[in-house]
Chain A
Amino acid sequence: MTEGIQTLGVVATQAFTFANQPDKLMLDSGETLSPVTLAYETYGSLNEGKSNAILVEHALSGDAHAAGYHEGEKSPGWWDDMIGPGKGLDTDKYFVICSNVIGGCKGSTGPSSTDPKTGKPYALSFPSITIRDMVEAQRQLIDQLKIEKLLSVVGGSMGGMQALQWIVSYPDRVRSAIPIATTLKHAPQQIAFDEVGRQAIMADVNWRDGDYYGRPLPARGLAVARMVGHITYMSDASMAEKFGRQQKSNERPSRFGADFEVEGYLRYRGDNFVKRFDANSYLYITKAMDRFDLLSSKKLSEVFKGVKAKILLIAFKSDWLYPTYQSQEILKACKLTGVDATFCEINSTYGHDAFLLEVEEETHLLKHFLGGVPV
């Protein structure tokens, strides 16, 4: 912890339920969901004019717990480095909200939630969801909090997609956006890696077409999916630095054991993930990312028409999963429509993970950029 910077201390996740029968949430697919619960956390306090709210969007495996500590837990939320008093998203100034996405498994309605019609988990009867559906659900939360205009929408990776979707869907409700290491649409390489992850899950005999709740989980499949994911989040350089060709000391060597540090790391990450994430949620959410295409049939010069938000785009040099050219494409769309944009490519070796790790640079950029957005 940097000296002089305080943490948020103990925080708790809250739940907001809407679309109670007869209401329902209309989804992109034409299907509906009712009721819908969103898990969310807030940090700092909303000012009188309700003009200092910043919505933080999480990535694929994230959750509402972005900062501070849950009671009795040793590790803080996933973006605690950035959110807190005096930090990049300064909770002395701003009211920061982080909401889990629908389709998720961390307190929001998703495939592992109970279907009120059957009294059993939805599993694959859960409707397909999109990034726009996630944003629609969040919009209801923002309405509930009586916030007319967000000061900013901030997110990396899938969180960045949601930030982009926000400024397009609700141009009058967002003053600025900070999409980090993200894209206007998933490219074939990104879809390909997601598909390998999904295939690993679906190939697990325990998956049983998604109907595994109350039975052995498709743990191997989900762990392999996560291992593939982790490879794509790092870079050649960051792996070399972190692991080298270091061998693990195995007391009882086996022919195909985890000899190398990197193997051990991936196995550990994979196994850990299984404890906290639902395999079906992984399938639904990766599909939502793959289907994301803000352009669809639109031209690049049309996609941001009517957008009023000021934008700060950040990419990372060694990120090969969401390469810089994808941020530059977003930048080009901004230029073609006269959207006020700042773009920085941070010279990082961490790969895609950089958005969680390059704290100093991001803090500088976010702090000053947000300082220029009128509260």
Chain B
Amino acid sequence: MKLEHQVVIEWIEKGSSVLDLGCGNGDLLAALVKEKEVKAQGIEIDEKAIYECVAKGLSVVQQDIETGLSEYLEKSFDYVILVGSLQQVKKPDLILKAALRVGKKTIVSFPNFGHYKVRLQILFGGKVPVTPSLPFEWYDTPNLHFLSVSNFIEYCQKRGIHIDRSAFLGRGRVKALPNLRAETSLFMLSS
């Protein structure tokens, strides 16, 4: 299993309720149901992915994240999670605000644009970087925004969002200098 998913599973309390934004084929949600007995709900726009989720016994709704989120009441879920796709949504600011409203806690993860390989590729190659956590060419990428660990921490301070936990991942867990060494970062947030 992806290390990123392992961290999320670690963080989530047993028996809680989880809303997964852009849950894809439902692998993470299914693992959360299995290991943490969560009450799972997914939002996913892709019809094929919906069929895969339903085959895993998951409850999932075919909607875009923004519309899907706005219809829930405040604090409808213990956790709202947005794993690996913060940089792919059109308006991350609005989505985060909505996620913090609907969930008691929000968990987000994204590839870190501050990673040293990214910096080196831009500095010496003069080209848009292609790395393990940012594997796409500029002309065919789902990523709309590029942000670093430092960008995100600064953003949370500016918006008054509380960072409850964080985790930084490279090949393994990154303990020091995350903005330079983390390929992926995860944050647990509350408003």
A335 touching B71 in the complex, CB below 8 Å, given contacts A342-B54, A344-B54: yes
Q: Is B60 an interface residue (CB 8 A)?
A: yes
Complex CA–CA separation, A338 to B73 (angstroms): 9
Q: Is B59 an interface residue (CB 8 A)?
A: yes
- Residues of B near A310 (CB, < 8 A) are 59
Within 8 A of B (CB), among A141-174: none
How many residues of A are in contact with the other chain, CB < 8 A? 23
Asked if B71 contacts A344 (CB within 8 A), the reply is: no
Tell me which of A328, A338, A340, A368 contacts B54 (CB under 8 A).
Answer: A368
- Residues of A near B93 (CB, < 8 A) are none
Asked if A341 contacts B62 (CB within 8 A), the reply is: no
Complex CA–CA separation, A371 to B161 (angstroms): 41
The smallest beta-carbon distance between A351 and chain B, in angstroms, is 17
- Residues of A near B152 (CB, < 8 A) are none
Kindly state the interface size class of chain B when it binds its partner: 10 to 19
Complex CA–CA separation, A335 to B63 (angstroms): 13
The smallest beta-carbon distance between B131 and chain A, in angstroms, is 34
Asked if A343 contacts B54 (CB within 8 A), the reply is: no
Asked if A331 contacts B61 (CB within 8 A), the reply is: yes
- Residues of B near A301 (CB, < 8 A) are 73
Asked if A346 contacts B61 (CB within 8 A), the reply is: no
Residue interface mask A325-354, B partner, CB < 8 A = 1: 000100110011010111111110000000
Tell me which of B47, B57, B71, B73 contacts A345 (CB under 8 A).
Answer: B47
- Residues of B near A361 (CB, < 8 A) are 51
Q: Is B186 an interface residue (CB 8 A)?
A: no
Closest to B73 in A: A336
The smallest beta-carbon distance between B104 and chain A, in angstroms, is 15
- Residues of B near A344 (CB, < 8 A) are 47, 50-51, 54, 62
Q: Is A55 an interface residue (CB 8 A)?
A: no
Q: Is B55 an interface residue (CB 8 A)?
A: yes
Residue interface mask B56-72, A partner, CB < 8 A = 1: 01111111000000011
- Residues of A near B57 (CB, < 8 A) are 368, 371-372
Q: Is A213 an interface residue (CB 8 A)?
A: no
The smallest beta-carbon distance between A313 and chain B, in angstroms, is 8
Asked if A365 contacts B59 (CB within 8 A), the reply is: no
- Residues of A near B72 (CB, < 8 A) are 335-336
- Residues of A near B41 (CB, < 8 A) are 340
- Residues of B near A331 (CB, < 8 A) are 61, 63, 71
Closest to B42 in A: A342
Q: Is B76 an interface residue (CB 8 A)?
A: yes
Asked if A340 contacts B59 (CB within 8 A), the reply is: yes
Within 8 A of A (CB), among B104-140: none
Closest to B51 in A: A364
- Residues of A near B61 (CB, < 8 A) are 331, 341-343
A342 touching B60 in the complex, CB below 8 Å, given contacts A365-B51, A365-B54: yes
The smallest beta-carbon distance between B21 and chain A, in angstroms, is 14
Tell me which of A328, A345, A347, A364 contacts B55 (CB under 8 A).
Answer: A364
Closest to A311 in B: B59
Complex CA–CA separation, A371 to B56 (angstroms): 10
Closest to B48 in A: A347
- Residues of B near A345 (CB, < 8 A) are 47, 62
Asked if A336 contacts B71 (CB within 8 A), the reply is: yes
A342, A345, A369 interface centre (most CB from chain B within 10 Å):
A342
The smallest beta-carbon distance between A334 and chain B, in angstroms, is 9
- Residues of B near A369 (CB, < 8 A) are 54
- Residues of B near A372 (CB, < 8 A) are 57
Closest to B77 in A: A338
- Residues of B near A343 (CB, < 8 A) are 60-63
Complex CA–CA separation, A343 to B59 (angstroms): 8
Asked if B59 contacts A342 (CB within 8 A), the reply is: yes
- Residues of B near A342 (CB, < 8 A) are 54, 58-61
Complex CA–CA separation, A54 to B109 (angstroms): 42
Complex CA–CA separation, A341 to B42 (angstroms): 10
Using a CB–CB cutoff of 8 Å, the interface residues on chain A facing chain B are 301, 310, 328, 331-332, 335-336, 338, 340-347, 361, 364-365, 368-369, 371-372
Enumerate 14 A-B pairs (CB-CB under 8 Å) in ascending A order: A301-B73, A310-B59, A338-B76, A340-B41, A340-B59, A341-B61, A343-B61, A344-B62, A361-B51, A364-B51, A365-B51, A368-B54, A368-B55, A368-B57
Task: List 4 A-B pairs, minimum CB-CB distance, nearest first.
Answer: A343-B61, A372-B57, A368-B54, A335-B71
Using a CB–CB cutoff of 8 Å, the interface residues on chain B facing chain A are 41, 47, 50-51, 54-55, 57-63, 71-73, 76
Beyond the given A343-B62, A346-B47, please list 11 additional residue pairs across the A-B interface where CB-CB is below 8 A: A328-B63, A331-B61, A331-B63, A335-B72, A335-B76, A340-B41, A343-B60, A343-B63, A368-B54, A368-B57, A371-B57
